[in-house]
Amino acid sequence: MKKFILNSLPDSKGILHLGGEDFHYLVRVRRIRPGGVFQALLPGGKEADLSVLSIGKDQMTVQCEAVKDTIRLSFLPPIYLFQALPKGNKMDLIVRQAAECGVFMVFPFESDYSQVKIANSKPERWERIIREARQQSGSLVPTAVKAPSHLDEVLDFWEGLNNERKGLGILLHQSPLEQGTFHDYLICEPGFVVLAVGPEGGFSPAEVDRFMAAGFKPLKMGDTILRTETAALYGIAAIQIILLESVTWRPMNRQSSLENEFIY
């Protein structure tokens, strides 16, 4: 269900005034009218119903009601996407799809074969895309996007995550470097999952060596070579579906651990 994302909390009386892009989206796009009620996510993660008190020329006044904690029904661990910068506006699509799918964080980086450089990236635009995607899809995961960086910073970030809890890194590659599968890798019940996707042309041999030295598991998906934007969505979807349906394929002696819900 669509959920409007608020950037600020209502006042002590539960009143909030919305203008600018928020006003345009709610009035021109969503066609909200006085007396209407719509759902929203408050800063901090709580949900609320917002009833429209009045609509002026360029501002809407709403009353915040029925505030409640969000309830996540999934036991999925956080999923991170390490995405090498692709050419054109493909990164916009990748960010949008990642937010709709509930990816916890997208970390773009400049790789050896990236044709787009960090200086030409658009992190502010990606943040707007994430907000739009979450509002459209109703995703409760607060997807974030980091400022584009280099492989050194990406692997340092990976190491820091692993120091907090044991994770799983999967490196998508166009060559069968190892006969592993998503099922083989995900059975370890990771605390988080990182998916690394290369740009057009894939990762260089030196980059592959560095990822594997850091503990990433290489994986080739099928017999075809996918576009980078397709590979990212394909990989995220495969990870989520396998984890969501894990009760049907995990050995019986491992099912009890599914009762522990992962916290972002």
**CATH number of the domain enclosing 134:** 3.40.1280.10
Find residue 197's DSSP bridge partners: 83
- Domain match, 110 and 226 both: yes
Joined tokens for residue 150:
């280099």
Look at residue 257 and tell me if it is in a domain: no
Taking residue 63's Cβ as centre, other Cβ atoms within 10 Å add up to: 16
Q: Per residue in 76-118, pLDDT tens?
A: 799 999 999 999 889 999 999 999 999 999 999 999 999 888 8
- Give residue 261's pLDDT band: very low, low, confident or very high (50, 70, 90): very low
Model pLDDT, residue 140 = 83
Position 259 pLDDT exceeds 80: no
Model pLDDT, residue 258 = 45
Q: Per residue in 18-56, pLDDT tens?
A: 999 889 889 988 899 999 998 888 887 788 889 999 999
CA distance 168 to 108: 18
* 8-state DSSP, 22: H
Selection from 100, 127, 93, 80 nearest residue 229 by Cα: 93
Look at residue 254 and tell me if it is in a domain: no
Q: Per residue in 119-149, pLDDT tens?
A: 777 888 999 999 889 988 888 888 999 999 9
Residue 35, domain extent: 4-68
Mean pLDDT, the chain, rounded, equals 85
Q: Are 84 and 111 in contact (CB under 8 A)?
A: yes
- Give residue 72's pLDDT band: very low, low, confident or very high (50, 70, 90): low
- Helix, strand and coil percent figures for the chain, each rounded to 5: 35, 25, 40
**Tokens 């070579």, residue located:** 225
Model pLDDT, residue 60 = 92
Domain tally, the chain: 2
